[in-house]
Amino acid sequence: MTHPPTPPPGYQYQYGHGPYDHLYGPGPYDKQPAYGPPGVPPGGAAGDDTSWAVMCYVGTLAVGIIAPLIVYFAKRNTSAFTRFHAAQTLNYLITSLIQTLAPAVVAIPLAILTDSPAWLILLAPMVVFHVFAQWVVLIMGAVKAGKGEYWRIPVWLCFPMIR
């Protein structure tokens, strides 16, 4: 097997003019226009905005409320798309905290007053619900944000407090 001829130092083939372009594809600089990933509508979110928005959701699964807070304060004045998704994530986290603490406010004093830990069973339904709902909601939000779409979490699960 013969190898392609070695060009002089510093020489670059123009795409379509090199001896082995059909094997190796375009060279280091391709002048073809780039079109974003499939599914992004014309005039939709830019790549950097979608990355920040996805990190709101994925970061919540990794580090909790810290990730959407950082994204919200870093990008709230520069990107409406990222601010929307960061606010959605924060609203969901605050709503789920309230929905979990409400039964705790009732169950913990009852358990202390009656000296019976059986009252803590009132906490179980909401905690179990939000453990599973969190994964579903955050993954759906990350997928929609990655596609450059606005997606609103249902109001019964996420009350819009932060805009």
57 vs 42: CA distance, rounded Å: 24
What's the pLDDT score for residue 53? 94
Residue with tokens 């599914």: 39
Which class for 85: exposed (0-12), middle (13-18), buried (19 or more C-beta within 10 A)?
buried
Angstrom distances, CA of residue 43 to CA of 79, 81, 151: 14, 12, 17
43 in Cβ contact with 149 (< 8 Å):
no
- Range 123-131, long-range pairs (CB < 8 A, 24+ positions): 126/99, 126/100, 126/102, 127/100, 130/96, 130/99, 130/100
The pTM score is: 0.67
Predicted confidence pLDDT, tens digits, the chain (163 residues) = 666 666 666 665 555 555 555 555 554 544 444 444 444 445 555 668 899 999 999 999 999 999 999 999 999 899 899 999 999 999 999 999 998 898 899 999 999 999 988 888 888 888 899 889 999 999 999 999 999 999 899 888 888 888 8
Residue with tokens 């944000």: 145
